[in-house]
């Protein structure tokens, strides 16, 4: 049972509201004797931090992370985990709540205002409370720890669509992702995104996006059939990201259009007699368990709900009214969702590695003897 | 932690393999004093049962369900829940394992054969073991119990795409769904599905599908922010269905193409001063919590992996080989996924209703006083 | 969250009422490739089975167990686990419900009748429903599977007190436990138990008992600090046995009378440089984690509540009345609790072994290199 | 699955080591709209705080608690819960780690040093790390929040035994508990405790204790049969307190000495036709469910393991050595366990109230109509 925890063996419990004292998380179940540095966690946070370009909210937050527990200084520098819970804290410093004063009563369409109020009968109206994108910083910090559980694995994300513009996959270059403010892997599409988003931003509008995540080096055997499927847990994790409205693995929705012949990932033996797949329609997961091929997942992010155009709504007192949002917001919240998506994948994979080791008694291995 | 359980307060643990003695489930946490009949559970199972048309596998399974515990006879007929765990059992009767004898060693592309073997080092090769679509019968039975937790709610599913053919949504008629072997809500598309699938079937091929699920009458307030989001749990539940490769809520992936203005669900006051939404791009969920509008979810099902065309693969002994599948299989496994999807939605909603009542202390209610 | 599940990685979900169709359990998370035989499970059940002497209830229950799932025949005989859920079923055959007909309305003191009614508003009055000692058969079956997870470990139980009679620990002989109907390790006390319990039985009375459990060969390192303490989980497991009212580890309540000097378990190096303890006041657990010394736990069982002497009570209709119980009952239910306690210890240890392997990445080992 | 979380619906996750930056907890699942003040939480912490008499450790810790999230200011003062996770933080200020420098390598008998090292291969040797009594401050803070979930309920604790001295229960007076440094309810025993503990303290020795907890006003119906028994969860919670070695409910271990007649809690109708019990051997729990009578639990605390007398032990390097402890320690750690025990009872009851409301759909009520 959990409301604010994800994971089973590698468990992350997050807390904090956008405009409260602090946000943070507790990482429980992390294996002992893993080395990491605060700088590594901070670097992950910095990738997600707003205010780095004109395409993200201008809210300034240093997002400086503190490690409160669960580690010891490593003799050779940095920290080492001890197996006890690791608490990470990020203080809120730019809490400009006054922007929100006049919207306390009216329900912003697309936001969780109405549903929080109806569920709890009370709501922290400042900046979306728990539903603020700010909460995702804690996941990114946790993801940086999770990555240490998975040596040899890489998890990378990219924006593959903003609004009506899709990248050209034939030009995919992971090295380009860090060279533009969109996490775009296709340099040819960058100027198109730029021009399009500038228009959106100036109009006080917003637009949706699709993020693609690829995990490479994941050993085969992670996951479980049916209710602990690796893809099921990824789906929950990615749908749990703010504003996510869809998740797919491998071919995803396109698989519905294919025949069995088209969708088959045939197998051959490759280097060292190791089985490999001639295609990866499955996105690296079969029957809920990783195949050893790259895990490919995508999630769709809806347009930021806060826009300048007035929209019809109702308020807490039961009156009809209009609303538009003046606060500082991302024209395309999907962009900053990239590091969040990566972090969720790290956490899910770490969790499943520990679960696998627990049930099976050893880390997963390739099946055939290798030369 | 769970491998074969879903839900938190309303918990379903399933067991059994396709070709073992029996399959079944234990429904734990079900509220007491709910009346139901075995006939109702059986009727739900019968909707899913194979062999009802030439478009589903010809495996004959009466799927007769027995209630082993957790109920008492109700004085006025049928059963009544007592609050203790309800065990449901379905014996396997048509276990034609010999069909599978020659494929024991070779990994069928698209199946979980390879991943089970690599994970567990052992595998029930008969009919897919736990990954067989047969397991889903237990979920359908559990869903029939879950429905009793939610009086006033309806959950209905339909096939909206088979391969390249999509229905015309303007002709949507729920009453048509039971009139054709495809759970198709658009009578105009039925002949197209029929002709298309006949071709697929005769060619020994298969094709994917998209299933849409709509829950109406769901009170606002179910769900929770972030890691117990109603949409997150639906995503996990639907991705947990065999062969599912994608899940979306409301606009889903299309939301990535929209602007904030297009995607806004504006609100007005309606009958009895009750707030309502002028659109439902959100699919009935905001910030992880139900809005009171219909919950709309879709999932994509890949084509059945068992096809007659030989495919390249490897076997347990580490040799390259070819395989094709002679067993009885569905040309489009997405069709029979409709009752399974409905059952998963019932279970998720029941679970969230109980969780909500627990935390908040009462069932959710509309916020404004109603005349 | 669980109502009828125990364990986290090694999870047992039980179902069934005393006088229903069947009782059973689902063992989920069991590692693959463990061999066992139905005969082994049956033998464990037979140790617990009633009607074997005049000191246990005369209810006749063959308690024949069936394995429904999660295994394959092992080529060399018996079964082998596959890593999928193992369902075990025991049909009820001697459901003499008429014994209970006249007590349907009156609350039997010491029984759960009143509390079930007040909680659920409905109750299976036949034989105690879920609270019947009969349910414990399913735990014993699960414990027999759990034992396979722990090669090299032995778990044994014994009755050390019946009513006012305590055994003489200086005469403790494990081999004697199977030679008398009391699971008594002290042959000198057996005739005293016999005479005492004969008197109790003939008077239609009942009496309590204390059961001691000892697990040997448990590797050091199982458990976790604070909320997953091995002793905390043992306490919950043993207190979860019907009629248990107290649990203690090592010195237990006697530790309150000792000084720090008296209670200290000093350490020396022994064979092969392996650290060992010069005493075991701790009962094999320090800080929630196993030390490698024998784990010693005791639990107190209250006298069977069903007695022939009339007792004052009230009934469902809100009237005062009297009740006495004619059904077949154990004069000392603590006796048959021995195999149940052993089973709970097996399950807790199996669970913690899997959890340890998951978090730490390997099975626990002695700390110092051994010659 | 949890290592550092307790509870299911009302969930408390704690973090922090004795000599780290801070300790704290996250309370998740707390119902919304509960008012409390920081002063109330602080008052609970102050009862547990060390250094208040010569009978507790002289470590000075202001234990100032901060609320980081999950609340809003209440218009009429204090705070109000919002239904989101409540993070509580206590910074460590008196981290005199040098006291521990020379014991880093040697395993202190009775402490978790050896087991942590063998489990994790690494250990925060300063002050016991997670196993330090300091961690219990976070539970006390969480318990103060839990108390708000249970209006009308009182939970009180008292020391009923220190070493060989037991209180005289006929003189029990709850009002006396706050008047002496022992939480002793019997004024006649206070001078005996005082003299006895002064001797223990001056000798650099330590001694065990028994704590009794009584919860009054608990509605009948909380708990569940078998694996979510209220007594099972209390047992785990109390055994989870540092140095606890035994737990009992009602008659506890004494029940083993009684006959069914002696142990029967007969029932009559009392005020307003409400059923009541003529005795409370059961300690307020039958079949795992609360009866409405006071819940009575006791736990035994072993003597503080840190003593001045040298003890034989081994060290990390695999050598035999001697150790004695110079740090500041409680001569009877059982005394300060009283507020911790109370807090655990609050948390368990809050958790079960929420679970009950979830499954049954309403708060528990007395069964018969009352005038």
> pLDDT tens, C211-246?
999 999 999 999 998 888 999 999 999 999 999 999
- How much is the pLDDT for B306? 87
Q: Which residues of A touch D26 (CB under 8 A)?
A: 4, 13, 15, 26
CA-based nearest residue in chain A for residue C84:
A225
**Are D129 and A82 an interchain contact pair (Cβ–Cβ within 8 Å)?**
yes
Residue C84: its pLDDT value, please? 94
| Proportion of chain A above pLDDT 90, given as a percent | 76
Nearest CB to A22; choose among D16, D32, D68 = D68
Chain A residues touching B118 at Cβ < 8 A: 220-221, 289, 292, 364-367
CA distance D342 to chain C (A): 16
Q: DSSP letter for C200, please.
A: H
**Partners of chain A (3+ Cβ pairs below 8 A):** B, C, D
Say how far apart CA D351 and CA D362 lie, in whole Å. 14
Distance from CA of C129 to the nearest CA of B (A): 9
Q: What are phi and psi of C129, to 5 degrees?
A: 55, -130
Cβ distance of B359 and D1 shorter than 8 Å = no
Nearest to D354 among B83, B225, B358 (CB): B358
pLDDT confidence of D371, banded at 50, 70, 90? very low
- Residues of C within 8 A of D255 (CB-CB) are 208, 245-246, 300-303
Return the pLDDT at C285: 97
Specify the pLDDT at position B123.
85
* Buried/exposed C149-167: b ≥16 CB within 10 Å, e otherwise: bbeebebbbbbbbbbebeb
Q: Which band of pLDDT confidence, cut at 50, 70 and 90, is reported for residue B95?
A: low
Smallest Cα distance from D260 to chain A, Å: 39
Q: In terms of CA atoms, which chain C residue is nearest residue D239?
A: C232
> What residues of chain C lie within 8 A of the CB of D105, using their CB?
none
Q: How far is D176 from chain A (nearest CA, A)?
A: 39
Please calculate the CA angle C332-D285-D341 and round it to the nearest 5 degrees.
115
Q: Write the pLDDT tens digit of every residue in A285-298.
A: 999 999 999 999 99
CB contacts of B1 in chain A (<8 Å) are 8-9, 355
Residues at the binding site of D for NADP(+) are 48, 54
Q: What is the mean pLDDT of residues D145-152?
A: 97
Of the candidates B355, B360, B363, the beta carbon closest to that of D31 is on B360
Q: Decide if D67 contacts D145 (C-beta within 8 A).
A: no
D289 to C116: CB separation less than 8 angstroms, yes or no: yes
CB D343 within 8 A of CB D10: no
Average pLDDT value for residue range D98-105: 58
Helices B333-360 & B38-48 angle (0-180, nearest 10): 140
Tokens of C11: 């999870």
Which has more confidence, D39 or A57? D39
Asked if B84 lies within 8 A of C15 by C-beta distance, the reply is: yes
Kindly state the average pLDDT of the residues A130-154.
Answer: 93
Question: Whole-prediction pTM value?
Answer: 0.96
Report the alpha-carbon distance of residue D47 to residue D338 in Å, rounded.
9
Residue with tokens 């347009």: A303
Q: Which residues of D touch B5 (CB under 8 A)?
A: none
Q: What is the pLDDT, as a whole number, of residue B328?
A: 63
Would you call B121 and C32 a contact, using CB atoms and an 8 Å cutoff?
A: yes
pLDDT score, position A97:
52
Taking contacts as CB-CB distances below 8 angstroms, the residues of chain D near A122 are: 32-33, 72, 80-83
CA separation for the pair B127, B99 (Å, rounded): 9
Q: Give me the pLDDT at residue A371, please.
A: 40
Task: Report whether pLDDT(B198) > 90.
Answer: yes
What is the separation, in whole angstroms, between the first and last Cα of chain A? 46
Asked if B29 and D361 come within 8 Å (Cβ–Cβ), the reply is: no
Report the DSSP pairing between strands D320-323 and D311-314: antiparallel
Hey, of D359, D364, D365, which one would you mutate to test binding to chain B, going by the most B CBs within 10 A of its CB? Answer: D359
ipTM: 0.95
Contacts of A129 in chain D (CB under 8 A): 82, 84
Distance from CA of C60 to the nearest CA of D (A): 23
As a whole number of Å, the CA-based R_g of chain D is 21
Sequence length of chain B is 371
pLDDT digits (tens, 9 = 90+) for D43-81: 999 988 776 777 777 666 778 999 999 999 999 999 999
Which residue from B253, B258, B267 is facing A312, i.e. has the nearest CB? B267
- Calculate how close chain B gets to C80, using CA atoms only, in Å: 9
| Distance of alpha carbon B368 from alpha carbon B269, whole angstroms | 10
The confidence score (pLDDT) of residue D89 equals 97
The band of A93, judged by pLDDT with boundaries at 50, 70 and 90, is confident
Is a pLDDT exceeding 80 seen at residue B20?
Answer: yes
pLDDT digits (tens, 9 = 90+) for D279-316: 999 999 999 999 999 999 999 999 999 899 999 999 98
Mean pLDDT of chain A, nearest integer: 91
- Predicted local distance difference test score (pLDDT) of residue B134: 86
> Residues of C within the annotated binding site?
48, 54, 130-132, 242-243, 287, 302-306, 328
Q: Which residues of C touch B224 (CB under 8 A)?
A: none
Q: How many beta-carbon pairs below 8 A join chains A and D?
A: 145
Report chain A residues whose CB lies below 8 A from the CB of B267. 107, 109, 114, 312-314
Candidate from A100-104, A191-195, B27-31 with smallest mean pLDDT = A100-104
Optimal mutation site among C4, C225, C228, C265, interface D, most CBs of chain D within 10 A: C225
Nearest alpha carbon to residue C263 among C282, C248, C285, C291 = C282
Q: How many CB atoms lie within 10 A of CB A156?
A: 18
What angle do the packed helices C333-360 and C38-48 form, to 10 degrees? 140
CB pairs under 8 A between B and C: 144
Q: What is the pLDDT along chain C (371 residues), one digit of tens a residue?
A: 568 999 999 999 999 998 889 999 999 999 999 999 999 999 999 988 776 777 777 666 778 999 999 999 999 999 999 999 999 999 998 665 555 555 568 899 999 999 999 999 998 877 678 888 888 999 999 999 999 999 999 999 999 999 999 999 999 999 999 999 999 999 999 999 999 999 999 999 999 999 999 999 999 999 998 888 999 999 999 999 999 999 999 999 999 999 999 999 999 998 788 899 999 999 999 999 999 999 999 999 999 998 999 999 999 888 999 998 776 678 999 999 999 999 999 999 999 999 999 999 887 777 765 43
pLDDT tens digits along B288-312: 999 999 999 999 999 999 899 999 9
Nearest C-alpha of chain B: how many angstroms from D86? 14
Instruction: Give the CA radius of gyration of chain A.
Output: 21
Q: What is the mean pLDDT of residues B109-135?
A: 86
Residue of A9, A12, A83, A121 to mutate when probing chain D, most D C-beta within 10 A: A83
Question: Which residues of C fall within a CB distance of 8 Å from A9?
Answer: 355, 358-359
How far is CA A350 from each of CA A146, A212, A292, B273, rounded to the nearest angstrom? 6, 19, 15, 49
pLDDT for the residue numbered B54: 77
Cβ atoms within 10 Å, residue D52? 13
User: Is A242 annotated as a binding-site member?
Assistant: yes
- pLDDT tens-digit series, residues B154-172: 999 999 999 999 999 999 9
Tell which of C361, C364, C365, C367 to mutate to test the A interface (max A CBs under 10 Å). C361
The Cα–Cα gap between D322 and D320 comes to 7
Q: How many CB atoms lie within 10 A of CB D154?
A: 14
- For D178, counting Cβ atoms within 10 Å of its Cβ (0-12 exposed, 13-18 middle, 19+ buried), the class is exposed
């Amino acid at each position: 049972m959990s409301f604010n925890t994800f994971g089973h063996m590698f468990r992350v419990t997050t807390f904090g509201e956008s405009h409260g004292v602090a946000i943070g998380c507790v990482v429980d179940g992390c294996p002992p004797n893993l080395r990491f540095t605060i700088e590594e966690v901070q670097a992950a946070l910095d990738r997600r931090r707003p205010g780095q370009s004109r395409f993200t909210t201008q809210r300034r937050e240093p997002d400086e992370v503190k490690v409160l527990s669960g580690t010891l200084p490593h003799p050779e520098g940095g920290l080492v985990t001890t197996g006890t819970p690791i608490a990470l804290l990020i203080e809120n410093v730019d809490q400009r709540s006054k922007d929100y004063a006049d919207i306390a009563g009216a329900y912003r369409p697309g936001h969780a205002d109405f549903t929080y109020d109806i569920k709890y009968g009370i709501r922290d109206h400042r900046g979306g409370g728990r539903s603020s994108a700010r909460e995702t910083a804690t996941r990114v910090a946790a993801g940086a720890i999770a990555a240490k559980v998975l040596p040899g694995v890489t998890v990378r994300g990219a924006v593959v669509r903003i609004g009506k513009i899709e990248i050209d996959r034939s030009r995919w270059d992971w090295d380009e992702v860090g060279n533009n403010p969109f996490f775009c892997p296709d340099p040819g599409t960058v100027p198109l995104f730029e021009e399009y988003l500038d228009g959106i931003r100036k109009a006080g509008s917003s637009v949706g996006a699709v993020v693609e995540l690829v995990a490479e080096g994941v050993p085969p055997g992670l996951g479980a059939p049916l209710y602990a499927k690796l893809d099921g847990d990824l789906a929950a994790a990615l749908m749990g990201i703010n504003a996510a409205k869809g998740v797919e693995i491998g071919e995803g929705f396109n698989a519905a259009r294919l025949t069995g012949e088209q969708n088959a990932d045939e197998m051959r033996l490759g280097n060292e007699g190791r089985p490999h797949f001639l295609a990866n329609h499955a996105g690296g997961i079969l029957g809920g368990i990783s195949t050893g091929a790259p895990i490919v997942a995508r999630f769709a992010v809806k347009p930021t709900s806060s826009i300048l155009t007035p929209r019809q709504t109702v308020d807490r007192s039961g009156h009809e009214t209009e609303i538009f949002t003046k606060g500082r917001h991302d024209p395309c919240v999907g962009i900053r969702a990239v590091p969040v998506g990566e972090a969720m994948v790290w956490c899910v994979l770490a969790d499943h590695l520990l679960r696998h080791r627990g049930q099976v008694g050893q880390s997963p291995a390739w099946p055939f003897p290798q030369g």
